[in-house]
Chain A
Amino acid sequence: MTTPPHPHGQAQDASAGPLARFLAATEIDTRLLGMAGALLLIWVGFHVYGALFNNGGAFLTPRNLWNLSVQMCSIGVMATGMVLVIVTRNIDLSVGSILGFVGMVMGLLQVEWLPPWLGLGHPAIWIITVIVGLSLGLLIGAFHGVLIAYLAIPSFIVTLGALMAWRGAAFLMANGRTISPVDATFQLLGGGPYGAIGSRGSWIIGILACLAVLWGLYAARANRRKHDFPLRPMWAEVFMGALGCGLILAAVLVVDAYPWPKGIVKAYAEAKGITIPPEGLFIPHGFAYPVLILTVVALTMTVLMTRTRFGRYVFAIGGNPEAAALSGINVRWMTVKIFALMGMLSALSAVISSARLTSATNALGQTDELYVIAAAVIGGTSLAGGVGTIYGAVLGALVMESLRTGMVLIGFDTAIQNIVVGCVLVVAVYLDIVYRKRAK
């Protein structure tokens, strides 16, 4: 009984290669490593292709990476919720339509319903809009959840019906009109030059994030020591800290290197009464608001899934619904909560998309459900249930969006884009199946 426990099998490690030893020591998930590798391949590939055939690579530029970061947010936010849905062996095909419907209601609220009552440009308009939008999404999702959990209609059917119904409802709300422009403050939530926190804010956030990473590593180590669990070697801790901080600071450097366009700078200088020096004024964008929203959502959802009872029950239901029920988990009520959360995240994506577009159209979010599901699945969420991570889904969204923007940059048209994205999805899932078989 005095032998210390070795859950990671030290004896096995000694015979393994240096890479395997490295991965065991740092406890990096090999799936994560694979996805990071695929992402790097896509980025470098598009950049090199552009450099060779399009007179200079345009992919790995601050401008493109900044745009990429903003464009992935809507899908990324929804993908984090889709993980919970798929882990519990359900599917939600209606997220794009919920996005469209909620976006339309929010558009009408701030353009046609609230201004006559509060006055155009009233500072409360965007707040009321967002609160109403998120609540509406929550209710729609909860309604789907009730149909699935208590009336035992398969989620595929409920959300397939909802896919058509809410899209139709979005059209009827304004008879197909485009509602524009949305409230000026609301627009900031979609990114753009003013919808970003600038250089100083980005550095502050970056440094705080680095401190959080270091504190997290320290706290985890202290906790392991407290319970006499095996510790990671010190070099592995240092490596993880350096890697985390390095990625964060690299992101800050990128968003800090992308300046406002000249026209915006001129308008801004005129409004503030600044004279522009002859060499021009360099005002960096910094992190866009949608990116911060996605970051907060992803962190919150990760804590929810890995640190709370709710998340534990989500995985338990996915692993064995019967066992979960016999353990006293209210599986039906959990299903309602999961779909309600999915609905609310779709509404949050509606905020981001309609703000970015500065208008609400009844086609907003069309086919988004496919990208969201693809992002979650590419990110390692198993359709058999029980397995999935939030960071995987966000990375999956980044992979999908990188493919999309990359192909736009090198001039592929929509038809080819669809073919490529479709094939990538199937191949990615095949590779995942091969990986899981080997892992066993």
Chain B
Amino acid sequence: MTHTGAPLVEMRDISIAFGGIKAVDHVTVNLYPGEVVGLLGHNGAGKSTLIKCLSGAYQADSGQIFINGQPVAINNPRDARAQNIETIYQTLALADNLNASANLFLGREIVTRHGMLDESAMEAETRKIMGRLNPNFRKFNVPVSALSGGQRQSVAIARAVYFNARILIMDEPTAALGPHETQMVAELIQELKRQGLGIFLIEHDIHNVMKLCDRASVMKNGQLVGTVNVNEVTDDDILGMIILGKKPARAA
């Protein structure tokens, strides 16, 4: 697959260390519109840390981030949201004591002209988007702690999708889900791709990677092993990269 023009996102030469341990060591990855790039590697390989530099949870020690070829500074989650970067975290990052609509709009509430929260408008919008993503969802007035894993996941996804994300980061979106819900997420990813979003997908399941991703960037011990086009390699090649840190000879 060849891309022309500037990538939607380029993270160039990113490094970040925690107390002398190089969690991410001079890694460069990029992402084009309508593309899903898988980030793979063992636990502790640095995938989540790398991606948190993009979502604003961490600041890189060195390196630069470009959005549409323009260098940007992302110092906190607000900056990331301002760049239409939305993240679905592995831990879902929901406030358990709040209901679905409060979580969906957290940090971006709809307010009335008097500056008060417009609960009914937010609930109505939540009903709309949930009707699209997960039509079986009914529990609008209970704290999300009372929801199942799949329902919580759909709230987290709704939050990312609702605000017109251009760049979506998904950290193991199917880890807590059953087969039916996993299929739902897979369909959603295809739909979002068609809409031209770029998606970084952190994923452990090699079958999901082969099915969902266009390219895969593999990390090991904080360093980038390599980036391959998924349709040019076998799952064994990718496993070799993850386990041995060896890039297959035939891949570009």
Contacts and interface: CB of A to CB of B under 8 A. Distances in A.
**Secondary structure call for the B interface:** loop
Interface in B84-114: 87, 89, 91-98, 102, 106-109, 111
A312 B102 contact: yes
B207 to A, nearest CB: 29
Contacts of A325: 57, 77
A327 interface: yes
A1 to B, nearest CB: 7
Contact of A329 (B91, B106, B123, B124): B106
A322 interface: yes
Interface string B203-237: 00000000000000000000000000000000000
Interface string B172-184: 0000000000000
A438 interface: no
B120 A323 contact: no
A1 B57 contact: no
B66 to A, nearest CB: 22
Interface string A323-357: 11111110000000000000000000000000000
A308 B106 contact: no
A100 to B, nearest CB: 34
B19 interface: no
A200 interface: no
B78, B95, B138 pick with most chain A CB within 10 angstroms: B95
Nearest to B80: A328
B94 A323 contact: yes
B95 A308 contact: no
B153 interface: no
Interface residues of B, number: 37
Contact of A328 (B77, B96, B135, B140): B77
A308 B91 contact: no
Given A5-B140, A229-B123, A328-B81, 13 more contacts: A1-B131, A1-B135, A5-B127, A7-B142, A223-B120, A227-B123, A309-B109, A309-B111, A312-B117, A319-B98, A327-B106, A328-B76, A328-B108
Interface of B: 55, 57, 76-78, 81, 87, 89, 91-98, 102, 106-109, 111, 115-117, 120-121, 123-124, 127, 131, 135, 138-142
26 contacts: A1-B135, A5-B138, A6-B138, A227-B121, A308-B115, A309-B111, A309-B117, A312-B102, A315-B95, A316-B95, A318-B97, A319-B96, A319-B98, A320-B93, A320-B94, A320-B95, A324-B95, A324-B106, A325-B57, A326-B57, A328-B76, A328-B77, A329-B107, A386-B95, A386-B96, A386-B97
Interface of A: 1, 5-8, 223-224, 226-227, 229, 303, 306-309, 312-313, 315-316, 318-320, 322-329, 386-387
